[in-house]
Amino acid sequence: MVPLLFLYGLLSIAAASSFSIQSTYALIKQYQSANLSIVELDQPTILKAIEICEQGHEKSGLPSFYDASYPALAITNECQFITADNRHVAKTKGFGYVTLLSDWESVFK
């Protein structure tokens, strides 16, 4: 499960690179038909994302709303957010429901 922002983010990256936007969208749709849910954020998830944005320290950086939407979605759906971004884990680990990609197997134990 990913927020709708995921779709916009990937398509924006494709538009700024040499990778075809149509090919990117086709890959997303193919993955979505197999096992990806793209969801619009509801009010509880938006409020949780705002709460996450307000945490942290200004010197180390506060999470953006975009970044906070991923763990907020995991928290409100009581599932794990798996990311390869160490800084993202450091900024949101106090909320739980976040796992570093290298530890993904721990989610299924």
Comparing 57 with 94, the larger pLDDT belongs to 94
Statement: residue 57 has pLDDT above 80: no
54 with 65, same domain: the answer is: yes
* Average pLDDT value for residue range 24-28: 91
pLDDT tens sequence across 79-96: 999 989 888 888 788 888
Cβ 89 vs Cβ 70: under 8 Å = no
58 with 99, same domain: the answer is: yes
**What's residue 60's pLDDT?**
64
49 with 19, same domain: the answer is: no
45 with 26, same domain: the answer is: no
**What's residue 17's pLDDT?**
93
Residues of the domain holding 52 = 41-108
20 with 66, same domain: the answer is: no
**What's residue 90's pLDDT?**
82
